[in-house]
Structure 1
């Protein structure tokens, strides 16, 4: 069809050159314009270039080695905790995150030839994983953890209260006191240790009741 239109157009242009009457010229001009329009519509569409394939995410096996990010800073408000990591060259598509209610694990792959990792296996308190996010900036990464309940965290890491008495009803009532004394001895300064050791010695020698029997 395109060839036929081209031949008709060529013939009309020849007639245009020899026509004299204004009415005939106007008719020929009109037909030439119509044929030129039809020729453009009938022309084959230009072949589009094949788009560049999307970058393939490089798989990282469980055996991938990582440099642990031990240095970072953090702050908080009543609703969230923000962790700041100074790390330049991180790419969003090469980052792997695993955020759960009481932990998070963020891996940064191929950062200037190295793999980095920041993980906290047990957080101070629960968070809302689906609301947390990791923002990559040119020279640092910001991890935002949304608290499940409002309030202040004393630390990022979960810490058991060693001085809290065990309330298990089946335990010996003296067991909680013994645990408390043991923790005081293990975590106390030299003077505290000498005081507790003296009390134990006095108890063993019969000077007083033995509150630390079974200790050691």
Structure 2
């Protein structure tokens, strides 16, 4: 704003000088400078006006509460069943409206948000499904006291659970081929991690078994 005022004052003085100047060269110089300042003033005025409009817009714009700021209550009451092609999930919730729901079906996840049910927001989500689904074919139906979600399986078959469960028992194929290798590893780990007494006990037991003093625990293995 200060810059705009300064430019106007400079222009006023230059125009005054132009009105009293007599020599052609001076008049030409004054006219050129007046044109430059006029152009600069126009740019400054336009920028100031745009800034003022943006400030007004921000002040009058309605507050939009984003999804990130919403608080959701987790919906944990549900049941499910399946056939060879699809899964059906029955979520117990009253007062849900389809137009106020946001669904996000992905190949390995489900996320359903229920907005403004008696002043609260609810959410049902499975971050990682047991197996893949076909998102484009999934759907939900809203009933007075529940919501029915239909997930279409990517491949036919029975699911043991809705949630993915990593198999922590990953067998070593080589050890499966050689059962004695697993026992050998177990004895080795016990010997390496044990104290001196444990090491002596394991060494003696192993020696006695091999010498025939006690039954060899591995005699049934080839």
TM-score range, shorter chain: 0.5 to 0.7
1:160-206 CA-partner distances (Å, limit 9, x unpaired): 11223256x9xxx99x959xx8xxxxxxxxxxxxxx9xxx7996432
Mapped to 1, the partners of 2:116 and 2:85 lie a distance apart of 33
Q: Is residue 103 of structure 1 aligned with residue 106 of structure 2?
A: no
Deviation at 1:138, TM superposition (A): 1.2
> Secondary structure, in 3 states, of the residue corresponding to 1:62?
helix
- Conservation of the 8 A alpha-carbon contact between 1:134 and 1:144: yes
Mapped to 2, the partners of 1:71 and 1:177 lie a distance apart of 44
1:16-42 CA-partner distances (Å, limit 9, x unpaired): xxxxxxxxxxxxxxxxxxxxxxxxxxx
Indicate which of 140, 144, 157 corresponds to 2:146.
Answer: 140
Mapped to 1, the partners of 2:92 and 2:172 lie a distance apart of 41
Mapped to 1, the partners of 2:65 and 2:172 lie a distance apart of 47
Q: TM-score, normalised by structure 1?
A: 0.52
Question: Where does 1:9-48 land on structure 2 (aligned, <5 Å)?
Answer: none
Partner of 1:160: 166
**Are the structure 2 counterparts of residues 133 and 61 from structure 1 closer, same or farther at C-alpha, using a change threshold of 3 Å?**
same
Deviation at 1:104, TM superposition (A): 0.7
Indicate which of 86, 95, 118 corresponds to 1:89.
Answer: 95
Higher helix share: 2
Mapped to 2, the partners of 1:69 and 1:123 lie a distance apart of 17
Aligned residues: 128
Mapped to 2, the partners of 1:177 and 1:67 lie a distance apart of 48
Partner of 1:193: none
Q: Which runs of 5+ in 1 are unaligned?
A: 1-57, 182-195, 210-216
Mapped to 2, the partners of 1:69 and 1:145 lie a distance apart of 18
Mapped to 1, the partners of 2:126 and 2:205 lie a distance apart of 47
- Conservation of the 8 A alpha-carbon contact between 1:79 and 1:147: yes
Cα RMSD of the aligned pairs, angstroms, is: 3.1
Deviation at 1:124, TM superposition (A): 0.3
Mapped to 2, the partners of 1:114 and 1:75 lie a distance apart of 28
Mapped to 2, the partners of 1:61 and 1:144 lie a distance apart of 25
Q: Which runs of 5+ in 2 are unaligned?
A: 1-63, 207-222
> Secondary structure, in 3 states, of the residue corresponding to 2:95?
coil
- Conservation of the 8 A alpha-carbon contact between 1:165 and 1:177: no
1:91-147 CA-partner distances (Å, limit 9, x unpaired): 111100111000010000001111110111100000000000011111110010000
**Are the structure 2 counterparts of residues 149 and 113 from structure 1 closer, same or farther at C-alpha, using a change threshold of 3 Å?**
same
